[in-house]
Amino acid sequence: MSALRTDGNETMTDVGIRLIVGLGNPGAQYALTRHNVGFWLADALAAASGESFRPEPKFYGEICRVSPPGVGDLRLLKPTTYMNRSGQAVAAVARYFEISPSQILVAHDELDLPVGTVRLKHAGGHAGHNGLRDTIAALGTRDFWRLRIGIAHPGDRTLVTGYVLGRPSKEDAVCIHDTLMDVERTLPDLIAAKYQLVMNALHSQR
C-alpha cells in the first residue's frame, strides 16, 4: 500500500502513524469495561516504553510521548471527554502537532469481531460507534486509520449498552490483552507506514 486517496482529486503518500488514540471513558468505574479496550491498548503501549500519561487540559485528555528505538516519536492519547465527545480531543492534538488524519490511528472496541481478534482498517463509517462518529465530525473526514479490537456481540441489540459498559470474563480479558500484545509488536511497522505488513501479521492471529 503505497498511497492513500485523501479526497476525490488528490493522492497522498503514506507517512506513517504519528498519533494513536485509545477510545474509552474516564473514571475508575469504566476502566475494566469492554468499551475501554482502546484505553487498554494506549496504556499497554506506554508501559512497554516505560512512559506514562499526563493530563493535558488543552488536549481534553491524557497524552504520552513514546520513542521506539529507530522509528521516531509517537504520541498516545486517551480522551477524557467521555466517548461521545472523543473527537474534541483528537482534533485538538492533531491541530497542535500538525498531524494529518492519515497519520492517526484510532483504537476502539468492535462488536462485530470475536474476542481475541483485531483488524486494521483505513477510513469507512462509524457503524454506530459514538467515539468514531464524533471523531469523524471533529476531523471533518473519515480518512484516518482504525484499529478494531474484537469484544464480540451479546446477541441482542437491546443488550449492547449494558454489555459494552460491562466487564469481560477473566478468560476474555486475558484473550484481549494477548491481542494487544500482538498490536504492540507491530508498532515499528505502523510508524513506518508498512500497513500491509501490519495487516498480514494481525489478521492472521488467532
For the question of residue 108 being annotated catalytic, the response is: no
The region, left, alpha or beta by phi > 0 then psi within -120 to 50, assigned to residue 152 is left
Q: Encode burial over 19-47: b for 16+ CB neighbours within 10 A, e otherwise.
A: bbbbbbbbeeebeebbbbbbbbbbbbbbe
Catalytic pick among 35, 108, 126, 129? 35
149 contacts: CB under 8 Å, gap ≥ 6: 37, 38, 41, 107, 108, 109, 110, 113, 118, 176, 179, 180
Active-site amino acid positions: 35
